[in-house]
């Protein structure tokens, strides 16, 4: 019995091996920034909505100046399938042939595809339309059957005109001006047609004085109008979408808070697919700095 007690005493006095404290878990890697929304071949980019930094003619391009061939004020394209790449048009550009491509170019005036009752299909990409030295009364780009991508429109009272079918405008930036008596709009439908997509653009109307709206799509001849993921500011009522047949979609847009004259919205709520629109604040580079709250639809149906 005494021997057993002695063994227990010895066991109690034997040092216990120390166990290392569990290591702290490795810190989680910091979340990576989301990839830029727009990246171009010249290295320019925008983290979210388009700005002058990622639209317009590519940086470092050596432009070839073309001679005006129509009344000394315009350059007219009459060849189907023509490509204008890296050119400077020191006036208006008239598209009078189908399937014309304009890219990486600067047009000092308007880009218009109407020739009397006819109009012609074209695309314009990575190009600058207008100058900062004057304010043109006509739309920067119109009228139908065109696709515009990463275009910078400046020095125009109206940005884009929609007067027919099949218009798609993406990733573009519009800085509006106005003259006395103008009714400036970022995009306007007039005798519109079927199939308009206005997606992920920035329209700044804050410095224009004679204004209607950054988004003014109220034409009764329009059908299937989709306005999504845009950043807009300014106007009397900033977002005006109504009267179109078919679908009217206004989704995921951001409106700069208190940038309007009378109110944020005057749209046809009962017939519009309205969702996910927000009031925001931005910095001088158009970066969203805060979400003020949801942007509700308002207006008589």
pLDDT per position as a tens digit, 148-195: 999 999 999 999 999 999 999 999 999 999 999 999 999 999 999 999
CA angle, residues 168, 204, 238, in degrees to nearest 5: 80
Q: Is residue 33 part of a domain?
A: no
Average pLDDT, the chain: 91
Q: Is residue 176 part of a domain?
A: yes
What's this model's pTM, rounded to 2 decimal places?
Answer: 0.88
Give the alpha-carbon dihedral of 91, 96, 100, 101, to 10 degrees: 10
Q: Is residue 16 part of a domain?
A: no
Instruction: Please give the pLDDT value at position 253.
Output: 98
Q: Is residue 142 part of a domain?
A: yes
- Per the CB < 8 A criterion, the answer to whether 250 and 242 are in contact is no
Q: Is residue 34 part of a domain?
A: no
Q: Is residue 239 part of a domain?
A: yes
Q: Is residue 192 part of a domain?
A: yes
Confidence at 301, pLDDT banded by 50, 70, 90: confident
Q: Is residue 211 part of a domain?
A: yes
CATH value at residue 85: 2.160.20
Give the alpha-carbon dihedral of 103, 184, 178, 204, to 10 degrees: -60
Which residues form the domain of 241?
A: 41-294
69-107: per-residue pLDDT in tens? Answer: 999 999 999 999 999 999 999 999 999 999 999 999 999
Q: How many domains does the chain have?
A: 1
Residues in the chain: 301
């Amino acid at each position: 019995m005494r021997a057993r007690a002695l063994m227990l005493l010895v066991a109690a006095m034997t040092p216990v091996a120390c166990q290392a404290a569990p290591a702290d878990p490795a810190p989680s890697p910091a979340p990576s920034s989301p990839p830029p929304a727009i990246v171009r071949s010249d290295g320019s980019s925008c983290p979210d909505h388009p700005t002058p930094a990622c639209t317009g003619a590519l940086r470092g391009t050596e432009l070839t100046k073309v001679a005006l061939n129509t009344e000394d004020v315009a350059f007219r394209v009459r060849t189907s399938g023509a490509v204008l790449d890296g050119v400077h048009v020191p006036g208006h550009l008239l598209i009078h042939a189908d399937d014309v491509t304009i890219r990486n170019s600067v047009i000092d005036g308007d880009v218009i595809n109407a020739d009397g009752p006819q109009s012609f299909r074209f695309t314009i990409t990575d190009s600058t339309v207008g100058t900062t030295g004057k304010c043109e009364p006509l739309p920067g780009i119109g009228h139908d059957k065109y696709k515009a991508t990463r275009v910078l429109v400046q020095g125009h009272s109206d940005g884009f005109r929609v007067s027919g079918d099949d218009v798609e405008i993406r990733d573009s930036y519009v800085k509006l001006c106005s003259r006395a008596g103008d009714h400036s709009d970022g995009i306007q439908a007039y005798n519109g047609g079927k199939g308009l997509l206005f997606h992920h653009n920035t329209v700044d109307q804050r410095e224009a004085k004679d204004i209607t709206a950054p988004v003014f799509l109220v034409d009764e001849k329009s059908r299937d109008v989709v306005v999504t993921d845009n950043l807009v500011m300014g106007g009397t009522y900033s977002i005006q979408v109504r009267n179109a047949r078919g679908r009217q979609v206004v989704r995921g847009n951001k409106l700069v808070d208190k940038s309007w004259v009378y109110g944020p919205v005057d749209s046809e709520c009962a017939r519009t697919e309205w969702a996910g629109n927000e009031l925001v604040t931005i910095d001088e580079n158009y970066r969203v700095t805060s979400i003020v709250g949801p942007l509700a639809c308002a207006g008589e149906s």
